[in-house]
Amino acid sequence: MAESSQCFYCREDLGGKRFVRKEGRPVCVRCHTKFCANSCAECHRPISVETKELSHKGRYWHEECFRCAKCYKPLAKEPFSTKDDRIMCGKCCSREDAPRCHGCYKPILAGTESVEYKGNSWHDECFTCYSCKRPIGSQNFLSKGSDIYCSPCYDDKFAKHCVSCKKPITSGGVNYQDQPWHSHCFVCSSCAKPLAGTSFTNHQEQVFCVDCYKTSVAKKCSGCQNPITGFGKGVNVVNYEGSSWHEYCFNCKRCSLSLSNKRFVAKGKDILCTDCGNK
């Protein structure tokens, strides 16, 4: 570019000097920078012919200004993407597009271990139990409101606790007198036989199987001398002056007439109907 001419703007003799042709007209470097140069999209200063110019989709940059809008990494010789008219390196662009962790609110990058639950996403290490703060990982979990709990913490905090062993009841169980029990904890107070699904009775706030109640607790019928259990035939009981009878055993000692709901006469240890008692 060393031909003899004058600058179109300042009329400076360009003989032996560098110049630029703009629309066929010679322009000195100084005037080109002042009147003709493209403005840098980043710093907004003119881009001189003496510096390297980069362009993309009708916009221009100084080489040193062509950087990632997020991390400022130089991109003149690197792959790049655009987002909302901003130039970004591939990594930052991925971060912009990535879903945000519901725990730490940082982006979850492609290839990162993550958890999705009820429309939200978490880094694997951020998906933690609300109570113990440990990562849930692959173990079972439950939710209460918006909080996530591992199974042990959920059971400890919300499950019913057994009256006997005080540990949480996670499944099944027995409810007796409005109190919860594990099935294996609801046992006879005497022989420790499990009572779930069987007949049992209560005595002085203790539960007994039928056999132990008969042998250890139940009163003996003054008539047949067998235990009065309240099970099976003749569940009704007659009590008189410290003695008890099965209803079907409460009979006249002499004539065997049933005295249930009838007047009777006591003579010593014998119970008699009024007719026999008056003889």
Extents of the domains making up the chain = 97-157, 159-216, 218-277
DSSP string, 4-35: --B-TTT--B-TTS-EEEETTEEEEHHHIIII
109 band by pLDDT with thresholds 50, 70 and 90: confident
User: Which pLDDT score is estimated for 233?
Assistant: 61
- Return the CATH class of domain 218-277: mainly beta
Return mean pLDDT, the chain. Answer: 85
When mean pLDDT is compared across 79-83, 146-150, 191-195, the lowest value belongs to 79-83
- Return the CATH class of domain 159-216: mainly beta
Asked whether residue 3 carries a pLDDT value surpassing 70, the answer given is: no
Which homologous superfamily does the CATH classification assign to the domain defined by 97-157? Cysteine Rich Protein (2.10.110.10)
Asked whether residue 209 carries a pLDDT value surpassing 70, the answer given is: yes
Is there a common fold for 159-216 and 218-277?
yes
User: Which pLDDT score is estimated for 110?
Assistant: 64
Does this model's pTM top 0.75? My answer is no
Taken in order 243, 249, 250, 254, the sign of the CA dihedral is negative
Asked whether residue 119 carries a pLDDT value surpassing 60, the answer given is: yes
234 band by pLDDT with thresholds 50, 70 and 90: low
